[in-house]
Chain A
């Protein structure tokens, strides 16, 4: 019953048609929230007592870091769906999410490195948080490369899913690295289980930036998925009717 439900609602055709309906709303709302969060954070949030104005990178770095990990987690769920239930769309979504994940992980690494110069006195340190995030970036590139290196797309889907599932072990390591090891990186400013450690005047624009970044990346993901699905299924009749 679960299998028939999943297969019924996870056809590539349904995905393309359903996401096309709300793509514009997601993209424009995402860009609006991102602009609001960033303008609020850059111009109106107060200066940090310790880090001065360099802390304003937080409104980009934290959303980027959160989604660098969340996208991989999403890919791992899709990989399980593909391996267990042979859901074709799940493999398409992994392949389409990997470039988005690589992009946002690069932004997280880049913004963190620049932020490190005024706060730590160095742009790079081989500590647990930064190294595990670099490994995440390499994982994303590896997934893209692995899939592209096979001529048999179905076989590539399966191997890519296995690699994604194996690599998910890195996510809790990134998350807990600041607690498990001595590191230059500060602990999480906001967690689900505890009260935030930053002032509300900084927290609100940060939450808006996180929401905006999430929606913007979902919009980009939808767009790349559509491109990939049409590429993979271009010989199918529904694609020829759709374009």
Chain B
């Protein structure tokens, strides 16, 4: 169950031609979720500062 499913790292990245579909999906999703966290944390900090300064 825990054997590497590919013969090499190159094979892992290419995934028999399917890597072009698989990797962008994960990368875009990670990026979007990270932006969600980043933007919210930044807004929260700015709002807290604004309330403290008021």
Interface residues of A (CB under 8 A from B): 38, 42-47, 52-54, 56-57, 60-61, 64, 99-100, 103, 106-107, 110-111, 114-115, 117-118, 201, 204, 216, 219-220, 223-224, 226-227, 230-231, 234, 239-240, 243
Contacts and interface: CB of A to CB of B under 8 A. Distances in A.
B32 A239 contact: no
A110 B16 CA distance: 22
Contact of A234 (B18, B21, B47): B47
Contacts of A230: 44, 47-48, 51
A142 B20 CA distance: 33
Contacts of A47: 5, 16
B4 A223 contact: no
Interface residues of B, number: 30
Interface of B: 1-6, 12, 15-16, 18-19, 21-22, 24-26, 28-29, 32-33, 36-37, 40-41, 43-44, 47-48, 51-52
Identify which of A46, A52, A53, A224 gathers the most chain B CB atoms within 10 Å of its CB.
A53
Nearest to A107: B29
B51 A115 contact: no
A120 B7 CA distance: 27
A75 to B, nearest CB: 17
A57 B41 contact: no
B38 to A, nearest CB: 10
A54 B18 contact: yes
Contacts of B19: 53
A106 to B, nearest CB: 7
B40 A110 contact: no
Nearest to A96: B40
Contact of B25 (A100, A106, A114): A114
Interface centre among B12, B18, B41, B44, by most A CB within 10 Å?
A: B18
Contacts of A107: 28-29, 32-33
A118 B21 contact: yes
22 contacts: A38-B26, A43-B6, A44-B3, A44-B4, A54-B18, A56-B18, A99-B36, A103-B33, A107-B28, A107-B32, A110-B25, A111-B25, A114-B25, A204-B1, A216-B33, A219-B37, A220-B33, A223-B40, A223-B44, A224-B40, A227-B44, A243-B48
A54 B40 contact: no
